[in-house]
Amino acid sequence: MASSTQRHFGQPRVTLFYALGFIAFVIVAFTVAYRLAGWSWSDAAYMVIITAFSVGYGEVHPVDTPAMRILTTSLIFFGCTGIIFVTGSLVQWLTEAQIQRVLGGRRMQHEIEKLKDHAIVCGYGRIGRMLASQLREGGMPFVVIDIDADRIEEAREDGHLTLQGEATDESILRTAGLVRARVLATVLPHDASNVFITLSARNLNPSIRIIARGEVPTTERKLIQAGANRVVLPAHIGADHIAHLILHPNASSLLDRQSPDGRELEHHLGGLGLRLEEIEVGRDSIYCTRQVSEVERESSGRMLVVAIQRKEGGTEFSPDPGAVLLAGDALMVLRRMGAD
């Protein structure tokens, strides 16, 4: 249905292009005709323009032969027809473009009004685009709010429901269905805006879950006080991931191999209070020549061996409890956060 509507509203634009092409052909063809009749290029072009656009200042040269009168009469007919064709196509294009804008806005607003237990994403920048993509893949209905017209157009082209406006405006939040929404994520790059949106959202819907983005660590406390349930600091997340790559390169590589998005898996593990660590087994290590079952038993449940990366190459996933650790191996374990 959407594609059919787009084809319908795109037809006036095609018609306008045809009309412009027709009038251009008329101007060129009759200019050449007058030139062949002995007129100069400038006189021929001037005659064609004033005749086609019905200006009628007067004949540039006397039109006193039957052939010239037929040529001029033909120019009047085709020129005026072409101008009428262009004018009509232009009016139709502008009118139907306005109708499309109005109907499209009403249709989108109607879709938003039907939403319930949905998400509201404030901001369609770099983080907002990634968030919207993940929500769509997860089947979560949502509305994107952004004040920038280009970003809103981009979100619409991506197939998302959108509202153009300032998310700090309570009326915009109400229009987005805040009272019916399950969660609001404000991911604007300005901490002050995120704080204000959080305050407004919490005031309008005390039960909604609010996830806010913070750029500066000191903003986290303010966002929590404003009513945010969770605060995400993108800079800290990036720094933590880089540190993990440095401290546990083999463990990070293992995550990347086991999941299309290793960072997503790492995030889920963190939500469960677990982290994947790498333990190098040296000659003097307490784990050297020990079995996997002994390592797990002596950790009293605080550590689970998930893989062994052998010194000579290769990785043993879900190793046998009787597998022996050798010097130079790397042990991949799941450890509870806070456990020694």
Cα distance between residue 165 and residue 184, in whole Å: 16
Say whether pLDDT at 235 is over 80. no
* Average pLDDT over every residue of 108-115: 82
Cα distance between residue 46 and residue 53, in whole Å: 11
CATH superfamily of 236-336: Regulator of K+ conductance, C-terminal domain (3.30.70.1450)
Q: How far is CA 177 from CA 42, 125, 143, 184, in A?
A: 64, 21, 9, 11
**Please, are residues 140 and 184 in contact by the beta-carbon 8 Å criterion?**
no
**Please, are residues 132 and 155 in contact by the beta-carbon 8 Å criterion?**
yes
**Please, are residues 75 and 52 in contact by the beta-carbon 8 Å criterion?**
yes
The CATH class, in words, for 115-232 is: alpha beta
Nearest CA-CA partner of 32 in 48, 19, 20: 48
Question: Do the domains spanning 2-111 and 115-232 agree at the CATH topology level?
Answer: no
Say whether pLDDT at 210 is over 90. yes
Q: Does the global pTM surpass 0.85? A: no
Quick one: DSSP state of residue 275? E
Confidence of residue 2 (pLDDT cuts 50, 70, 90): very low
Task: For residue 140, give the amino acid letter.
Answer: M
The secondary structure of 235-253, three-state, reads: HHHHHHHHHHHHHCHHHHH
**Please, are residues 224 and 231 in contact by the beta-carbon 8 Å criterion?**
yes
Domain range annotation of the chain: 2-111, 115-232, 236-336
Give pLDDT tens digits for 256-283.
544 444 444 455 455 555 677 778 888 8
**Please, are residues 50 and 42 in contact by the beta-carbon 8 Å criterion?**
no
Percent of the chain residues topping a pLDDT of 70 = 78
Give pLDDT tens digits for 33-57.
888 888 889 888 888 888 877 776 6
Phi, psi (rounded to 5 degrees) for 211: -115, 120
Q: How far is CA 204 from the centre of its chain?
A: 27
Q: How far is CA 91 from the centre of its chain?
A: 33
Confidence of residue 306 (pLDDT cuts 50, 70, 90): confident
Q: For the domain 2-111, what is the CATH code?
A: 1.10.287.70
DSSP 58-108: --SS---SHHHHHHHHHHHHHHHHHHHHHHHHHHHHHHHHHHHHHHHHHHH
